Structure 1
Amino acid sequence: MRTRVKICGITRVEDAAAAVDAGADAIGLVFYDPSPRSVAIQQAVEICQAIPAFVTVTALFVDAPVEQVRDVLSQVPVDLLQFHGDESPQYCRSFSRPYIKAIRVREGLDVPAFARQFPCSKALLLDAYRPGVPGGTGETFDWGLIPENLDLPVILAGGLNPDNIESAVAQVRPFAVDVSGGVEAAKGIKDSQLVNQFIKEVSCADQR
């Protein structure tokens, strides 16, 4: 099975276009003000205009007020929601949109039990754990903590880059991978060469 690729933290139209040209299956727009990759609504609209059919636009939120999510959905042509905080299953379902739920993996966490709480989620995004930081740490985690046969498809995130992605895919065999800082020239600014290299390495891993 081919591993899907999401390039997250897109802040510029040219970076979105470069990701699509490189073969990305999805892009991520961050609606979380503390993040250096956060985008305003108008900025997001302009980026979406550069996205062709069959590339998924994902909107990322972290414990956002319901009104904020609805405001984004009313103005930005979003295909998928990504919830990266402590959102409840009821909250995630309340927008009547496809969504994925993120979890920060650490020793002792019952990942299968967490997955069972979100049966409507389209996938479970597994990220690195750092206290008080919802994501974007640039750190990997112990992939050996990922249990087999989870109830949801796995999206692997956390510290991925062109140098480690082939081994990550070979070990975990996730449904998809999600990268942000690992393909950047600066925070929020993607490096098109790194994006291309990352996607090529994923393809190489799939052929192993």
Structure 2
Amino acid sequence: MEIDKKDRSGGLRYIPQIKICGLTGIDNALSCAELGADAIGLVFYSKSPRFVKDDQARKICHALPERVKRVGVFVDEAFESIMQKVERCGINAVQLHGNEPPQLVGSLRKENLIVIKALFLAKNPEFDDAVNYGASAFLAECGKGALPGGNALSWDWETAKKISGKYPLILAGGLTPENVSQAVSLCLPNAVDISSGVESAPGIKDIEKVKLFISKVSESSYTKRPRRIF
């Protein structure tokens, strides 16, 4: 999707990129891409209701247009296991959603991958950890539980300004078509990430909700020039 637009005075305003996470079907993923998603997230954590097997993930990745980034979501997996899925499925970005060490981030970045590290705490994201990681971007989410993402838990988005001015930031956690404009205006993220907020069932996106969400993001903008993540 376009990252900038002009306001009424002719000045440039910037629109966050969009990641739709937790997809499990080819047609569903293609529909999200056609609507303007910049990245599609595939969950490789077997305990998640949005878990996708390697064969299906490969089919989804190969069907997507080149411009759309394929993000593999992992929880405390070893480097070798992640790289097997990267090579087997055609993933070009990795999201680490567990307690992974900074060394793993460095090893994955050496493989020319976009590496996203999730930061979270019980009530608000723990931003102090960001300084220890050389990630391509950080995903801010609250309410870390047994499953990565899709928890529909919102938090004080304005606190994310602590990190959005220092590092590329993906805003997640409780986003919906109804509140994403407010969230963007409060923390000025480089990208937004949604899963359960546009679902009809776990792993299946309601395309009308996706369309509305992308429309609302397109209406949100800011004057800060963001760094592209995807």
TM over 0.5: yes
Give the corresponding residue for 2:15.
2
Give the corresponding residue for 1:98.
114
Give the corresponding residue for 1:35.
48
Alpha carbons 2:39, 2:70 under 8 Å: kept? yes
Give secondary structure in 1 for the equivalent of 2:85: helix
Give secondary structure in 2 for the equivalent of 1:49: helix
Q: CA deviation at 1:66?
A: 3.1
User: TM-score, normalised on structure 2?
Assistant: 0.83
Aligned: 1:174 with 2:189: yes
Alpha carbons 2:47, 2:147 under 8 Å: kept? no
User: TM-score, normalised on structure 1?
Assistant: 0.92
Give the corresponding residue for 2:102.
89
CA distance in 1, matches of 2:96, 2:61: 19
Q: CA deviation at 1:207?
A: 7.1
Kindly provide the amino acid, as one letter, of the partner of residue 138 in structure 1: A
Which ranges in structure 1 are unaligned for 5 or more consecutive residues? none
CA distance in 2, matches of 1:103, 1:136: 15
Flag the 1:189–1:108 CA change in 2: closer, same or farther, 3 A: closer
Q: CA deviation at 1:146?
A: 2.0
Give secondary structure in 1 for the equivalent of 2:63: coil
Give the corresponding residue for 1:152.
167
Give secondary structure in 2 for the equivalent of 1:144: helix
Q: CA deviation at 1:128?
A: 1.3
Deviations 1:79-121 (Å, cap 9, x if unpaired)?
Answer: 110000000110122232220100114568651x3111112x1
CA distance in 2, matches of 1:9, 1:110: 23
CA distance in 1, matches of 2:33, 2:125: 35
Identity of aligned pairs, percent? 38
CA distance in 2, matches of 1:107, 1:30: 23
CA distance in 1, matches of 2:124, 2:189: 21
Alpha carbons 2:42, 2:57 under 8 Å: kept? yes
Instruction: Give the counterpart of 2:154 among 131, 140, 156.
Output: 140
Give secondary structure in 1 for the equivalent of 2:73: strand
Q: CA deviation at 1:150?
A: 4.2
Kindly provide the amino acid, as one letter, of the partner of residue 21 in structure 2: C
Flag the 1:105–1:74 CA change in 2: closer, same or farther, 3 A: same
Flag the 1:141–1:75 CA change in 2: closer, same or farther, 3 A: same
Aligned: 1:196 with 2:211: yes
Q: CA deviation at 1:21?
A: 1.0
CA distance in 1, matches of 2:124, 2:170: 20
Instruction: Give the counterpart of 2:87 among 74, 80, 83.
Output: 74
Kindly provide the amino acid, as one letter, of the partner of residue 34 in structure 2: D
CA distance in 1, matches of 2:126, 2:51: 30
Give secondary structure in 2 for the equivalent of 1:78: coil
Give the corresponding residue for 1:186.
201
Q: CA deviation at 1:134?
A: 4.0
Give secondary structure in 2 for the equivalent of 1:140: coil
Alpha carbons 2:185, 2:220 under 8 Å: kept? yes
Instruction: Give the counterpart of 2:65 among 48, 52, 55.
Output: 52
Instruction: Give the counterpart of 1:62 among 75, 89, 103.
Output: 75
CA distance in 2, matches of 1:71, 1:48: 15
Give secondary structure in 1 for the equivalent of 2:105: helix
Give the corresponding residue for 1:117.
132
Kindly provide the amino acid, as one letter, of the partner of residue 22 in structure 2: G
CA distance in 1, matches of 2:209, 2:59: 23
Kindly provide the amino acid, as one letter, of the partner of residue 116 in structure 1: V
